[in-house]
Amino acid sequence: MSKEKIWLSSPHMGGTELKYIHSAFDENWIAPLGPNVTGFEKDIQVFLENDGKSECEVAALSSGTAALHLALVLLGVEHGDEVICQSMTFAASANPITYQGATPIFVDSEEQTMNISPLELENAIQDRIQKGKKPKAIIAVHLYGMPYQVDAIEEISKKYDIPVIEDSAEALGSTYKNKNCGTFSDYSILSFNGNKIITTSGGGALVTRKKEIKDQAVFRATQARDAAPHYQHSKIGFNYRLSNISAGIGRGQMEVLVERVSQRRKMFEFYVNLFSEVEGITVQQAPNSDYFSNHWLTVIHVDPEQCGFDREVLRLHLEQENIESRPLWKPMHLQPVFQDAPFYGTGIAKKLFQNGLCLPSGSNLSDEDRDRIGSAIRECLTKYSKNYG
Ligand SMILES: *Cc1c(COP(=O)(O)O)cnc(C)c1O
């Protein structure tokens, strides 16, 4: 294939990352601690507090998955416990529940944001309590950058006194009612994996409103070493801290985060225009102005009956043109590995999965790339659509 590949979402360096990496080498901070780690934490904190409503503490970690795991550990989740988790998400939201020997309880999505349904969440909580176990935590996810129904979920969390773990891995730069995603919980997590809106090649963070929680997270992430001259341990620890090299990449990336958000949103606008006249294909949009999405990935829904073709036809057509697209996250309750886990819902996540497609959304896509994507999509519509062209 001669045409260069257009990726769904690929790393996009800002230019100053190497400066921070060089300083790590110059100062010989080649370790999972050092000035870049501290500086990166500060950069994230300053960014998250820029809404004028949030106060937070940040612990930089080796991945978003590690951050989720530590959140569960710090909340005291143990063998035999139950933890509620949004079913429609990446497996990394749910896997750490099993690391603790706990059981995930999956909950369906609502259609407006594609995130955890408040109605089904409350059903699930009531039923689990009735069955004899109150869930220890609720993992809610801002999928593809779109905030979940924050107020409704917080209300349920308060009513039943069950803490929310906010999975903001895909939503750095998104806001709900002008407050930054990543600041809605004492246990919020971010990811800086290679495909996220900014990257440290691999990395994550736990964001909290409480200094004690940050201190505990760092303590556990660095092998839970007690204060003693020898190696003394009274708790189980992990090796989950972010390296000073990776944090250097993060410092450079934080300088361009705002620009990255507007570039992703530009891709979203491009698709809104492209599909505005197309019957049977809808672009997932914010329900109202309370929701501001970074549009990490733009999602479309292909109605096979109206279109005369399904999302796989479009995906394969794009693939032929060397353009990457991807079905939505397959819900966790439909995954072989979680087939025995309880699920509460009506099938909305399943339907979203069947008809949904993520389109190339990278901040580094050019006008030329957009032209190619546009032509490929129009070609597919002309070829297969019942009512186009
Ligand atoms: C990427 C991602 C994670 C995991 O983050 P890693 O840094 O890759 O471990 C967790 N949840 C969601 C929703 C994600 O997209």
Whether 76 maps to a domain, the answer reads: yes
Whether 8 maps to a domain, the answer reads: no
Dihedral sign computed on CA atoms, order 298, 303, 309, 313 = positive
- Token pair recorded at residue 279: 């019957």
Does residue 185 share a domain with residue 111?
Answer: yes
Does residue 266 share a domain with residue 206?
Answer: no
pTM score = 0.97
Whether 1 maps to a domain, the answer reads: no
With cut-offs at 50, 70 and 90, classify the pLDDT of residue 387. Answer: low
Does residue 262 share a domain with residue 149?
Answer: no
Lining residues, ligand 1, CB within 6 Å: 63-65, 89-90, 92-93, 141, 167, 169-170, 191, 193, 204
CA of 64 to the centre of ligand 1 (A): 5
User: In the prediction, which pLDDT does 388 show?
Assistant: 66
- Window from 1-5, 259-263, 267-271, 382-386 with minimum mean pLDDT: 1-5
Q: Which atom of ligand 1 is nearest to the CA of 67?
A: 9
User: In the prediction, which pLDDT does 385 show?
Assistant: 83
Separation of CA 324 from chain center: 19
Q: Which of 256, 287, 302 is the last residue of a domain?
A: 256
Q: Which atom of ligand 1 is nearest to the CA of 65?
A: 9
Does residue 168 share a domain with residue 294?
Answer: no
Q: Which of 202, 232, 256 is the last residue of a domain?
A: 256
Share of the chain above pLDDT 90, in %: 97
- Token pair recorded at residue 389: 């062209």
Q: 168 near 116, Cβ under 8 Å?
A: no
The string of pLDDT tens digits covering residues 193-232 is 999 999 999 999 999 999 999 999 999 999 999 999 999 9
Does residue 359 share a domain with residue 293?
Answer: yes
User: In the prediction, which pLDDT does 72 show?
Assistant: 98
Ranges of beta strands (E only) in the chain are 57-61, 82-86, 103-107, 138-141, 164-167, 175-176, 179-180, 187-191, 204-208, 281-283, 291-292, 298-302, 326-327, 343-344, 356-359
Place of tokens 């955890």: 116
Does residue 199 share a domain with residue 71?
Answer: yes
Mean of the per-residue pLDDT values of the chain: 97
389 compared with 127, residue with greater pLDDT: 127
CA of 65 to the centre of ligand 1 (A): 6
CA of 345 to the centre of ligand 1 (A): 23
Domain extent for 44 = 17-256
Mean per-residue pLDDT, 109-134: 98
Q: Which of 256, 271, 306 is the last residue of a domain?
A: 256
CA of 253 to the centre of ligand 1 (A): 18
Residue 275: is its pLDDT beyond 80? yes
Residue 298 sits in a domain whose CATH number is: 3.90.1150.10
User: Of 154, 166, 221, 216, which is closest to residue 191 (Cα–Cα)?
Assistant: 166
Q: 159 near 124, Cβ under 8 Å?
A: no
With cut-offs at 50, 70 and 90, classify the pLDDT of residue 386. Answer: confident
Q: Which atom of ligand 1 is nearest to the CA of 203?
A: 7
Please name the residue whose Cα sits nearest to atom 14 of ligand 1.
169
The string of pLDDT tens digits covering residues 73-104 is 999 999 999 999 999 999 999 999 999 999 99
Please name the residue whose Cα sits nearest to atom 11 of ligand 1.
93
CA of 63 to the centre of ligand 1 (A): 8
The string of pLDDT tens digits covering residues 12-22 is 999 999 999 99
The string of pLDDT tens digits covering residues 282-295 is 999 999 999 999 99
User: In the prediction, which pLDDT does 128 show?
Assistant: 98
Residue 2: is its pLDDT beyond 90? no
Share of the chain above pLDDT 70, in %: 99
Q: Ligand 1 pocket test: which of 167, 192, 207, 238 has the largest number of ligand atoms within 8 Å of its C-beta?
A: 167
Q: Measure the CA–CA gap between 33 and 223, rounded to whole angstroms.
A: 13
Residues 6+ apart with CB under 8 A from 128: 82, 84, 105, 134, 135, 342
With cut-offs at 50, 70 and 90, classify the pLDDT of residue 389. Answer: low
User: Of 127, 125, 144, which is closest to residue 135 (Cα–Cα)?
Assistant: 125
Backbone phi, psi, residue 157, to 5° = -55, -45
Does residue 80 share a domain with residue 190?
Answer: yes
CA of 192 to the centre of ligand 1 (A): 8
Does residue 103 share a domain with residue 144?
Answer: yes
Whether 292 maps to a domain, the answer reads: yes
Q: How many residues does the chain have?
A: 389
- Type and span of the H or E element at 373: helix 367-384
| Total of domains in the chain | 2
